[in-house]
């Protein structure tokens, strides 16, 4: 289901790179430099006993559920139906560590949030019905894959297995969040396995932060999300960037704004996606819309519009009144700067449905400036909503005192209710007209 490659190491290695750069610079001045230390000899490989271990490379085409010869060893949890499979006896300690992490994720995501537990695969993968995880060197990341549909229910729930490469940071400093993320995919499949990739990835990224709230492994992903506010909140760019992962910001907004103390709202959304085999609905947007409206009396479209205001208040623009961890998130949203002296001005807007454009208008003059801001568009199937990021919809002239600024956001919303099946990602064009006010 998900492969996260070594771009994830950026957040863990940048401080080390800076340190190394600084040390190199120090050696360029006067005085004596430290004598270089020769590299340590490589650790000799541990002998492999091919009577009980698998000593070769696992083919990329292998099926862990049927090609069991590649994973002859396994360790099981004493607390949960979980089993980790591996090739070499030296991997036993890592397998036990992974089991402990999976038990943590189970306690949070199943017991506390209320997700449906991994389905019993009836021995179709592994020796019994436990959830199976395979240490798979060389896949450079991790994924969850479906085994088969569950014949005991009418909806599209699936049994799955997980595979993970534990070499490098994936099996080290990132292992806890990787396991939490992938485990959430397994839980998603226990309710519905037919949604768009964006819904899976944003949700699993949100879930990993609930299991490990003090970790910041996903923070670097925010860059791609904040750099592309014109993309739909529900856009899947198919792994070209980290956008779909950091769309978890919207779920953090819902948590902080409407469900404080109730992170299980996300599990209820996913349970609401259950649809019968062959049916396209309800889907994720249906379930999201239903939970918001029935539990909090807010529409999906209103929540998206307000979220676009909230995403302004992160990093150095955090004001303490929006996201709980907004000050820690490293990237402000992309914005077009406008000098009030250039008014009247027509500015192009270009965004997908449930996307947005941001404009910051600054008065650098010695006198106050008043102007009107309106959006015009020829599209009849969408509407543009223009808001002050710090206030409400723009319905009256704006006045800026000297050195004052205002940030506006234009949000594209559908005219009629939509669901995943009819949400297109065409760019919608409009004009933001700024005109002097008498």
- What secondary structure does DSSP assign to 128-182, as a single string? SSSEEEEE-TTSSSEEEEEEEE-TTSSB--EEEEEEE--SGGGGTTTHHHHHHHH
Within the chain, which residue ranges are assigned CATH 2.60.120?
335-436
pTM of the model: 0.89
Beta bridge partners of 346: 433
Can you say whether the dihedral through the CA atoms of 294, 299, 304, 308 is positive or negative? negative
Residue written as token pair 């889907």: 283
Structure confidence at residue 115 (pLDDT) = 98
Please state the rounded mean pLDDT for residues 189-216. 96
* pLDDT one-digit tens code per residue, 206-229: 999 999 999 999 999 999 999 999
pLDDT of residue 38: 67
The more confidently predicted of residues 164 and 35 is 164
The pLDDT tens digits of the residues spanning 77-128 come to 999 999 999 999 999 999 999 999 999 999 999 999 999 999 999 999 999 9
Task: Report the pLDDT averaged over residues 428-433.
Answer: 98
Q: Report the pLDDT value the prediction gives residue 36, as an integer from 0 to 100.
A: 61
Within 13 Å, how many C-alpha atoms sit on residue 142's CB side? 29
Mean pLDDT, range 286-302, rounded to an integer = 98
In this predicted structure, the answer to whether residue 333 has a pLDDT above a threshold of 70 is: yes
Strand partners, 408: 359, 388
Give the pLDDT of residue 113. 97
**What is the Cα–Cα distance from 253 to 175, expressed in whole angstroms?**
26
Structure-token match 């036993």, residue found: 92
Residue 391, pLDDT above cutoff 70: yes
Query: 237-280, pLDDT tens digit by residue?
Result: 999 999 999 999 999 999 999 999 999 999 999 999 999 988 98
CATH of 335-436 among 3.30.70, 2.60.120, 2.30.30, 1.25.40: 2.60.120
Cα–Cα distance for residue pair 235/99, rounded to 1 Å: 34
Could you tell me where in the chain the CATH 1.10.390.10 domains are found? 47-315
Q: What is the CATH number of domain 47-315?
A: 1.10.390.10
Taking the alpha carbons at both ends of the chain, their separation in whole angstroms is 58
Residue 281 makes CB contacts below 8 A (sequence gap 6+) with 275, 419, 421
How much is the average pLDDT of 24-40? 48
**Average confidence score pLDDT of the chain:** 91
Cβ within 8 Å of residue 411, ≥6 positions away: 304, 305, 308, 351, 354, 355, 356, 384, 385, 386, 387
């Amino acid at each position: 289901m998900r492969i996260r490659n070594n771009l994830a190491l950026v957040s863990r290695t940048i401080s080390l790179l800076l340190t190394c750069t600084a040390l190199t610079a120090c050696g360029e001045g006067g005085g004596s430099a430290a004598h270089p230390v020769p590299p340590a000899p490589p650790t000799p490989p541990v002998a492999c006993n091919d009577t009980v271990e698998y000593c070769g490379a696992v083919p990329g085409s292998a099926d862990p559920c049927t090609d069991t010869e590649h994973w002859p060893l396994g360790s099981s949890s004493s607390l949960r139906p979980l089993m980790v499979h591996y090739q070499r006896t030296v991997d036993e300690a890592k397998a036990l560590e992974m089991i402990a992490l999976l038990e943590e994720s189970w306690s949070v995501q199943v017991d506390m949030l209320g997700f449906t537990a991994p389905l019993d695969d009836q021995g179709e993968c592994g020796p019994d019905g436990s959830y199976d995880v395979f240490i798979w060197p060389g896949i450079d990341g991790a994924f969850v894959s479906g085994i088969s549909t569950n014949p005991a229910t009418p909806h599209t729930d699936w049994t799955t297995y997980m595979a993970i490469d534990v070499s490098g940071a994936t099996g080290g400093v990132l292992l806890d969040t990787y396991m939490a993320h992938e485990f959430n995919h397994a839980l998603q499949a226990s309710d519905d396995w037919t949604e768009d990739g964006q819904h899976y990835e944003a949700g699993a990224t949100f879930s990993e932060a609930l299991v490990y709230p003090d970790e910041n492994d996903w923070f670097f992903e925010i860059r791609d999300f904040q750099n592309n506010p014109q993309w739909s909140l529900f856009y899947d760019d198919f792994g070209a960037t980290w956008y779909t992962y950091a769309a978890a910001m919207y779920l953090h907004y819902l948590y902080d704004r409407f469900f404080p103390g109730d992170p299980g709202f996300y599990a209820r959304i996913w349970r609401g996606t259950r649809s019968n085999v062959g049916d396209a609905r309800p889907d994720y947007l249906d379930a999201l819309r239903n939970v918001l409206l029935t539990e909090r009396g807010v529409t999906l479209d209103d929540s998206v519009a307000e979220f676009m205001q909230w995403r302004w208040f992160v990093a150095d623009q955090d004001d303490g009144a929006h996201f709980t961890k907004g000050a820690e998130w490293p990237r402000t949203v992309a914005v077009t700067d406008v000098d009030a002296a250039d008014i009247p001005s027509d500015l192009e807007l270009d965004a997908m449905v449930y996307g947005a454009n941001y404009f910051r208008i600054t008065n650098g003059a010695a006198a106050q400036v008043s102007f009107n801001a309106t959006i015009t568009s020829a599209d009849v199937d969408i509407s543009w909503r223009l808001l002050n990021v710090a206030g409400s919809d723009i319905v009256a002239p704006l006045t800026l005192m000297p050195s004052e600024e205002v940030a506006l956001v234009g949000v594209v919303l559908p005219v009629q209710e939509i669901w995943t099946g009819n949400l297109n990602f065409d760019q919608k064009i409009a004009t933001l007209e700024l005109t002097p006010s008498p």
